[in-house]
Structure 1
Amino acid sequence: MFETTFKNIDDILHKDAGCGSELDYVEQTSWVLFLKYLDDLEKDKQTAAELSGTTYTNIIDLKYKWTSWAAPKLPNGKIDHDADTGDDLSDFVNNELFPYFKKFKTNATSANTIEYKIGEIFSELKNRIQSGYNLREVVNHIDELRFQTHVEKHEMSHLYEGKIKNMGNAGRNGGEYYTPRPLIKTIIKVVNPKIGNTVYDGAVGSCGFLVEAFEYLRESKKLTTKDIVTLQKNTFYGKEKKSLAYIIGIMNMILHGVEAPNIIHTNTLAENLSDIQEKDRYDIVLANPPFGGKERAEVQQNFPIQTGETASLFLQHFIKILKAGGKAGVVIKNTFLSNTDNASIALRRELLSSCNLHTVLDLPSGTFTGAGVKTVVLFFDKGVSTKKVWFYSLNLDRNLGKTNPLNEKDLSEFITLQKTKAESENSWTLNLKDIDTSTYDLSAKNPNTPEEAPLRKPSEILKAMAELDKESEEILKTIENLI
């Protein structure tokens, strides 16, 4: 049912003048879906309060509740089809509903509340569905959905992830919104966070890393009530610069079960590194920062190693914001390992001296659909300098792409070998005392790859041909004698 509903909604938005791309479809579906989710959440809390003999105070006033404007019911329980539609519905949503929810941000008691997140979402969004009749159709479809059982919530979160994946595949934004989930799960298995750790992504996008870390920790042991509160409130933290990614990220976490995600809408790189104090640091960093971007000169001033390359600035930020003993798994362009500009050399020196870069996973082309770049994953622990780096080059017998994506089985050998840093045809160890300290070049050059036979000289080829001709003559003579 969920899948059919999403398809129907996309078909409606496709014909609306205000929605022109997959990004718009996800954005507009998100705010309507969010309000339906809130309605079901309040019903759940109301029921729980009644069962426990306590009182629950609704956070949304009656006029703005889903059942009042989106799906008003007749006394027989059926939808009132005479409810607002067309211009009346559009006017209400644009001029009353959105301004009402926008005020939640200023009225919230703290940033870690669902009220604050509601206010932030509606401060960043606007209704792009121009036709009130299309909006009515979308609302009616969303009203058919339910979020009141674990199975329903799981299916909905899975389908929402699918929409994010489709949006990432749509073209211009590619990996900015979607990091392949098999890769994220693999990174998390290697980093291995524990309940009680704080987990941070400073380029959070659609919150793929935090969502998968939440699932990993939730399944890591039988959770106590204290564990559940810790996971809900004191574990996951993120920052995101772009409005749409921020909205989608919050929605993604809420659908996966984190009610009030600690996600801040801000430019992470605008923070001066020297202002980061111990209280600001985290145990775990998981991230795929945007690469290929360029930051302005005033932003570069926040970093000791100044460069316009966004990913290099993020890596400095991640090193600084990790606690001593903290662990990280960060995706970055593979050119980081060998770039010869002064900033890249200085950054590699900083990483190797302040952290133990224990593992580098070299990924094949096509890992990120539409991105068209080769990447590596850096796994490092802060506080001890690097002595040896274990490399693994993922070599597959097929080309990766939209119809043939990376899967968890592809990465199974890496996970097995990484535990012991074993050498194989695809893995090797680089001793830091053997590298050139003028460049700190860490190029992923596999010494265990079988060497190809060198091309023969023309004279050698002619000699071999003559020998074959001679052998042929002898065989023909033998045959003639037999005849």
Structure 2
Amino acid sequence: MFEQAFKKIDDILRKDAGVSSELDYIEQTSWLLFLKYLDALEQDRAQIAELHGQPHTFLLEKPYRWHTWATPLNASGTLDHNSALIGDDLRDFVDQKLFPYLKGFKQRADRPDTIEYKVGEIFGELKNKFQSGYNLREVIELVDTLRFNSQTEKHELSDLYEAKIRSMGNAGRNGGEYYTPRPLIRAMLSVVKPRIGETIYDGALGSAGFLCESFERLNQEAKNVANRKKLQTSTFYGQEKKPLAYVIGLMNMILHGIEAPNIIHTNTLELNNNDIQEKDRHDVILANPPFGGRERTEVQQNFPIKTSETAFLFLQHFIRKLRAGGRAGIVIKNTFLSNTDNASVSLRKLLLESCDLHTILDCPGGTFQGAGVKTVVLFFTKGSATRKVWFYQLSPGRNLGKTNPLNDADLADFITQQATFADSAQSWSIDVSGIDKKTFDLSVKNPNGNDEIVHRSPQEILDEIAALDLESAEILQGIRGLL
């Protein structure tokens, strides 16, 4: 039922002149989903207060509550079509009254770790892009069919939202910026092994996949109220620069069950690296920072190793942000291991001398949908210099692509072998004492000669063509809807 509702919402969005891309689809769905979720949360809190004989003060004033402006109800509890706003009246109310009111919560909130503050941040970043109030009315009524009452319903909604994020990433030129494959994240968690009571941080949050998967893992281990409270309030932390990614990450965490996520809308790299103190550090860092970007000169001055490459600045930030003994798993472009420029060499030296870089996972091209660049995952522990590095060359036995995405089974052998740093056809170790101290080159060179090129089967190629044809047809349909 939920899946059908999401599909219908996308179909309506394609018809609206103000909504033009997958990014717009998820943005407009997100703010409506959030208000529907907020209504469900308020109803739950009101019922709990009533059970305890306590008064409940609603977060939103009555004119701005979901069942006042979006879906007013009649005496029988169904939609009152006579009082429901529609057309220009609905669009004007949203643009001129609802959004300004909700944006004001950021100034009115006591502190940033409250749901009130998050409301203000979300509606300070987004805007309503519906040009047709009639389209907006149709989408509102579909969103109203979605329920957040049970864990099963929340889980289904979070799965559907993740699918929309994945679709958005695939449609964009830089898909990996929005979506890190969840099987890869789960494999990284199996290596880093976060524990309840530790803090987990992602300074390049994106869609919050690392924090959401971490919550899923730890929530299964939380056996008492105290542990569940820790997961809600003092475990997950993140920062994100881009407004849309921030909102998507926030909504994704909420749908996964974290009511008021500790994430901040800011440019992480604008923080002076030397200003990070012990109180600012974390036990676990998991991230897929953007690479290939360029930061301006004044931002580069915040770091001891000057470079315009965003990923290299983020890596310095993560090393500084880790507590002594803290563990990290960081995705980075594979050329980091061998580039000969001064910044790359200096950064490899810093990493090897200040951390135990115990594992490097070499990922094949196509791991990140929509981004053909090859990547590696660096696993390190802060506080002692690296003596040995264990490499694993991931070879799923097929070319990865939209019709052949990475899956958990592809990473099962890596997880098993990494537990003991075993040697195999795909894994080996090097002694750091033997590497060139001028370049600190860590190139991935499998001594077992397991570097064969995997060619796709004819059926895989046909499936890929069919998927691309379908995607093109959907885009053309959207264009026709605008004409």
Deviation, 1:47, is 1.3
Moved more, 203-212 or 143-152: 143-152
Deviation, 1:223, is 2.0
Greater RCO (CA < 8 Å, at least 6 residues apart): 2
Distance 1:255 1:225 in 2: 20
TM-score normalized with structure 1 length? 0.92
The residue that corresponds to 2:438 in the other structure is 438
The residue that corresponds to 1:359 in the other structure is 359
Deviation, 1:105, is 0.7
The residue that corresponds to 1:424 in the other structure is 424
1:354 counterpart letter in structure 2? S
The residue that corresponds to 1:196 in the other structure is 197
Distance 2:422 2:89 in 1: 67
Per-residue CA distance 1:19-64 (angstroms, 9 max, x = gap): 0000000000000110001001111111122223333221111111
Deviation, 1:229, is 1.0
The residue that corresponds to 1:215 in the other structure is 216
The residue that corresponds to 2:23 in the other structure is 23
Q: What is the percentage of aligned positions where both structures have the same residue?
A: 65
Per-residue CA distance 1:376-421 (angstroms, 9 max, x = gap): 0000000000000000000121100011000000000000000100
Distance 2:331 2:241 in 1: 18
Map residues 255-274 of structure 1 onto 2, 5 A cutoff: 255-274=255-274
The residue that corresponds to 1:460 in the other structure is none
Aligned residues: 451
Distance 2:222 2:3 in 1: 31
1:416 counterpart letter in structure 2? T
1:209 counterpart letter in structure 2? F
2:275 counterpart letter in structure 1? D
Q: Please say if residues 328 and 381 of structure 2, whose CA atoms lie closer than 8 Å, have aligned partners that are also in contact.
A: yes
Distance 1:147 1:253 in 2: 14
Q: Secondary structure at the match of 1:389?
A: strand
Distance 2:30 2:172 in 1: 20
Distance 2:51 2:448 in 1: 65
Deviation, 1:208, is 0.3
Distance 2:50 2:333 in 1: 54
Distance 2:420 2:147 in 1: 46
Deviation, 1:91, is 0.7
2:195 counterpart letter in structure 1? K
Distance 2:406 2:55 in 1: 49
Deviation, 1:173, is 3.0
Per-residue CA distance 1:223-277 (angstroms, 9 max, x = gap): 2111111100100000000000000000000011000001100000011101111
Q: Secondary structure at the match of 1:332?
A: strand
Is 1:43 aligned with 2:55? no
From the superposition, tell whether residues 222 and 111 of structure 1 become closer, same or farther in structure 2 (CA, over 3 Å): closer
Q: Please say if residues 35 and 66 of structure 2, whose CA atoms lie closer than 8 Å, have aligned partners that are also in contact.
A: yes
The residue that corresponds to 1:464 in the other structure is none
Structure 1 residue runs of 5 or longer lacking an equivalent are 453-483
Map residues 145-184 of structure 1 onto 2, 5 A cutoff: 145-184=146-185
Distance 2:120 2:265 in 1: 12
Is 1:92 aligned with 2:60? no
1:395 counterpart letter in structure 2? S
Is 1:400 aligned with 2:400? yes
Map residues 283-302 of structure 1 onto 2, 5 A cutoff: 283-302=283-302
Distance 1:76 1:396 in 2: 57
The residue that corresponds to 2:481 in the other structure is none
Q: Please say if residues 222 and 228 of structure 2, whose CA atoms lie closer than 8 Å, have aligned partners that are also in contact.
A: no
Q: Please say if residues 253 and 261 of structure 2, whose CA atoms lie closer than 8 Å, have aligned partners that are also in contact.
A: yes
1:5 counterpart letter in structure 2? A
Q: Please say if residues 202 and 286 of structure 2, whose CA atoms lie closer than 8 Å, have aligned partners that are also in contact.
A: yes
Q: Secondary structure at the match of 1:428?
A: strand
| CA RMSD across the alignment | 1.0
Deviation, 1:201, is 0.2
Distance 1:79 1:173 in 2: 42
Moved more, 71-80 or 262-271: 71-80
The residue that corresponds to 1:470 in the other structure is none
The residue that corresponds to 2:472 in the other structure is none
Q: Please say if residues 196 and 222 of structure 2, whose CA atoms lie closer than 8 Å, have aligned partners that are also in contact.
A: no
Distance 2:396 2:137 in 1: 48
From the superposition, tell whether residues 450 and 67 of structure 1 become closer, same or farther in structure 2 (CA, over 3 Å): closer
1:389 counterpart letter in structure 2? V
Per-residue CA distance 1:151-203 (angstroms, 9 max, x = gap): 11110011000000000000323111100000001101110000010000000
From the superposition, tell whether residues 451 and 218 of structure 1 become closer, same or farther in structure 2 (CA, over 3 Å): closer
2:101 counterpart letter in structure 1? Y
Deviation, 1:449, is 2.1
Q: Please say if residues 181 and 406 of structure 2, whose CA atoms lie closer than 8 Å, have aligned partners that are also in contact.
A: yes
Q: Secondary structure at the match of 2:223?
A: coil
TM-score normalized with structure 2 length? 0.92
Q: Secondary structure at the match of 2:148?
A: coil
The residue that corresponds to 1:124 in the other structure is 125
From the superposition, tell whether residues 424 and 205 of structure 1 become closer, same or farther in structure 2 (CA, over 3 Å): same
1:182 counterpart letter in structure 2? P
